[in-house]
Structure 1
Amino acid sequence: MMPMMRTNNWIPTVFNDLFDADFMPKANATAPAINVKESDKAYTVELAAPGMKKEDFNVHINDEGNLIIKMESKQEHKEEDKNTRYLRREFSYSKYEQTLILPDDVNKEQISAKVENGVLTVDLPKLVEEKVKVSRQIDIA
């Protein structure tokens, strides 16, 4: 007589069928896209943040002179169907932090930021180097 092995294979299948369905949204663990541009007068950092508001961002310079960009958004939606007494809740939470080491030629006192059309734009103006003219008479010995 052969021993019989009992397994409950239906449990994982039920969960796989439930959570692997196309209608179930999957978590997206990707970071926002960042563009960095340079011109003669400034650097510009652009961070894609669709649906985010100005209040969702914190942009500052730390003690080491690095630019810190933090983004955090919490949303809760409730919908109640009066006919079936069903309560549906959706939670959305996203948090992102990026540290950028700034070049030495950035004027840290003039940095500005704005949010427009789902894009955070941080302007990093360059220091204006005053070119000192070194003109002088040289004595001939």
Structure 2
Amino acid sequence: MSLVRRNSGFFPSFLDSMAREDWFGGLERFSDTMPAVNIKEQDKAFTLELAAPGLKKEDFKIELDKDVLTVSAEVSEDSKTEVDGKYNRREFKYASFMREFTLPKTIDKDQINATYTDGVLHVTLPKLETALPAPKRLVEIA
């Protein structure tokens, strides 16, 4: 069984394609704020790898509601340079994303864990014992 990925973006695909074509002269693509995800299946677990460099583990929020795993992050920063009480330069930075994954019934939801290392969030989704592949066995002939 495979994981089903759901993007919860606010822009329909038409607006997304408009942004990709750079119609507004230098407009950043909406999809650039959505981290890339690798989904790897192993014998005992699935692993999600989200590329999110520059964040801290405190920036992430991982929620499980029924069979939907939601991974989100929100970062805001206000940096400014003042000269004689007037703004010489002031930049606001705000970034957020939310990704949703519909989990198969074979996931052990109580054992899900996550780590953040070198700009990649690793979410491990262990499989239930009943979903693990059965070892080979020899069938005796009666």
Question: For this structure pair, what is the TM-score category when the shorter chain's length is used for normalisation?
Answer: 0.5 to 0.7
Check 1:101–1:27 CA distance in 2 against 1; reply closer, same or farther (3 A cut): same
CA distance in 2, matches of 1:100, 1:107: 15
TM-score by length of 2: 0.67
Aligned-pair CA distance for 1:52: 0.7
The count of residues paired between Structure 1 and Structure 2 equals 110
**Which amino acid in 1 is paired with 2:127?**
K
Aligned-pair CA distance for 1:27: 2.9
Q: Given that residues 67 and 105 in structure 2 are in contact (C-alpha distance below 8 angstroms), is that contact kept between their aligned partners in structure 1?
A: no
CA distance in 1, matches of 2:79, 2:29: 19
> 1:75 is matched with which residue: 74, 77, 97?
77
TM-score by length of 1: 0.68
Q: Which has the higher contact order (CA 8 A, sep 6+)?
A: 2
Structure with the largest fraction of helix: 2
Quote the RMSD (CA, aligned, Å).
Answer: 2.7
Q: Mind listing any 5+ residue stretches in structure 2 that lack a counterpart?
A: 1-23, 135-142
Find the structure with the greater CA-based Rg: 1
CA distance in 1, matches of 2:87, 2:106: 59
Report % sequence identity: 42
The within-5 A match list for 1:1-141 is 26-30=27-31, 31-62=34-65, 64-81=66-83, 86-129=87-130
CA distance in 2, matches of 1:80, 1:116: 35
**Which amino acid in 1 is paired with 2:70?**
I
